[in-house]
Amino acid sequence: MYKTIVVHVSPVSGMPTTMAVAAGLAASHDAHLVGTAVTGWVELNGLMATGAPMVVMPALDIETLREEARDRLESFERQCFEFGVDSFESRLLDSTAVEALILQSRYCDLLVAGTQDVANYGVLAPSRLPGRLVTQCVRPVLLVPPAMRQPSGKFDKIMIAWNGSPGASRALGAALPLLQRASQVYIAVANPELERIDMGAEPGADLAAYLARHHRSAQVLGLDTTQETGSALCDLARHHHADLLVAGAYGHSRMHDWVLGSTTASLIEQSPVPLLMTQ
């Protein structure tokens, strides 16, 4: 069970969808939900103090930044009431989103953020927040795409992107509270030979047997394709009307990801449904 969930309350357009999923999960798991909004003022102030170039820095004072963050947290609290979340709190921090969320991931069961989130809000070197979270947080991260129909915390059909890697196994363990509630579980095995993963004569069969012991039968979906792996998995999730995709992050070395393109990055950018990941 997830008993403490942290959600990033960001200024992006898809934030209401992310909050709806987080609130729905908290309500269904009777969990405490922590809404975290940041201003980024500490880093911004430090850059200004050192005379860093101001080309992409916002011309805002600390009170304006805090007021905007408080407005987002008020919206978060209203959504908690609407979804029937019994236990929740709001946190406003002046650090960056990366610093705040990585720190809070040590004290929660699940961290929720949007796939479109960008870290650091316009300082010198903004970076994609989702990728940093899944590789640096110590807890699983649920990434929510902005365009979802009827967003909620109920995941009835779950697809596991299985390649036998340690990251995929850890993601599977993190997803067990959700898998045990699902009516259908799919095990997607894409291009096992191309991915250089040794999973035995019948890829996915051992995992299906393992999940059956958790009172959940699973259907193995083999996928041999010339399509890029992340895109193929996303298409498969759409075809089977999956509500959630579970995957490990960065199954190859970082150099392999840089040279050949990262399946992880592809999943984050293209997944049509929430994506549960851990490294």
* Model confidence pLDDT, tens digit, residues 184-202: 999 999 876 655 555 556 7
Residue 48 has pLDDT above 60, yes or no: no
- 120 secondary structure, DSSP code: G
Q: Using CA atoms, how far apart are residues 149 and 119, in angstroms rounded to an integer?
A: 26
Residue 158 has pLDDT above 70, yes or no: yes
- Please report where in the chains the tokens 């996928």 appear, as a residue: 223
* Closest-CA residue to 131 (of 119, 139, 146): 119
Each residue's pLDDT tens digit, 228-269 = 889 999 999 999 999 999 999 865 555 444 443 478 888 998
Q: Using CA atoms, how far apart are residues 76 and 22, in angstroms rounded to an integer?
A: 10
- 244 secondary structure, DSSP code: E
Q: What is the pLDDT of residue 257?
A: 46
Two domains, one topology: 4-144 and 157-278 = yes
Q: Using CA atoms, how far apart are residues 226 and 190, in angstroms rounded to an integer?
A: 10
Q: What is the pLDDT confidence band of residue 86, given thresholds at 50, 70 and 90?
A: very high
| Domain assignments of the chain as residue spans, ordered by start | 4-144, 157-278
Q: What is the pLDDT of residue 262?
A: 76
Q: Using CA atoms, how far apart are residues 83 and 197, in angstroms rounded to an integer?
A: 42
* Closest-CA residue to 18 (of 27, 30, 9): 9
Q: What is the pLDDT confidence band of residue 19, given thresholds at 50, 70 and 90?
A: very high
Write down the CATH superfamily of domain 157-278: HUPs (3.40.50.620)
**pTM summary value:** 0.87
Give the angle subtended at the CA of 251 by the CAs of 245 and 255, to the nearest 5°. 135
Q: What is the pLDDT of residue 85?
A: 96
Q: What is the pLDDT of residue 261?
A: 44
What percent of the chain has a predicted confidence (pLDDT) above 90?
52
- Fold type of domain 4-144: Rossmann fold (3.40.50)
Cβ atoms of 43 and 106 closer than 8 Å:
no
| Mean local confidence (pLDDT), 28-38 | 96
Cα 34 to chain centroid distance, Å, stands at 16
Each residue's pLDDT tens digit, 199-217 = 556 778 889 989 988 877 8
